Homo-oligomer: A and B are copies of this chain.
């Protein structure tokens, strides 16, 4: 892994596209080599194993989602604003990375070892824990004030994640079923974003 060659980089780029599109199992190092314009041996020369190459990509995509949460951990004093910001920015991020939710979930579900690694990372990540603690306090305070109905913080979190993430997981099926072109898909995602915000906010009222 020296300074040499944009080849190393173009292998990584080809691998990223293929892994995101087809997953770990359905992508061969031969496919990656062909797409990067080199021989299969070179893929292994630069990254030794397919698993190693995949891991770098997986970790990077996982971090993309996590870091995004941390960034938006600013205005945590107004629940409605916090929810609006979170859903809004998450929809925008995922709209530019539509395959990521299914990619991460599939590879986590289908590989026990990856699941354990992710678990360790989340447990030892002080940032995420702090975020959840603040979030939990805010919810409990709003309930105590009588501004929203009683609800467990985890339940609310899963509600939001379900509505956001499933939109992108089901998108290939939706756009295929209704033969949506790119413009229509964008309009659909915009509409979904607003509906999700509305449902959550109205659904929290007493």
Contacts and interface: CB of A to CB of B under 8 A. Distances in A.
Interface stretch (A21-29, A58-66, A78-86, A137-145): A21-29
The majority secondary structure among interface residues of chain A is helix
Contact of A155 (B22, B149, B162, B191): B191
Interface string A84-121: 00000000000000000010011011100001100100
A199 B191 CA distance: 19
Contacts of A152: 191, 195
Interface string A192-206: 100110111011110
Interface stretch (A30-38, A47-55, A166-174): A166-174
20 contacts: A25-B26, A108-B173, A115-B173, A115-B176, A119-B177, A122-B177, A149-B198, A152-B191, A158-B170, A158-B192, A159-B195, A161-B170, A162-B166, A162-B167, A162-B170, A165-B166, A166-B169, A199-B199, A200-B203, A202-B204
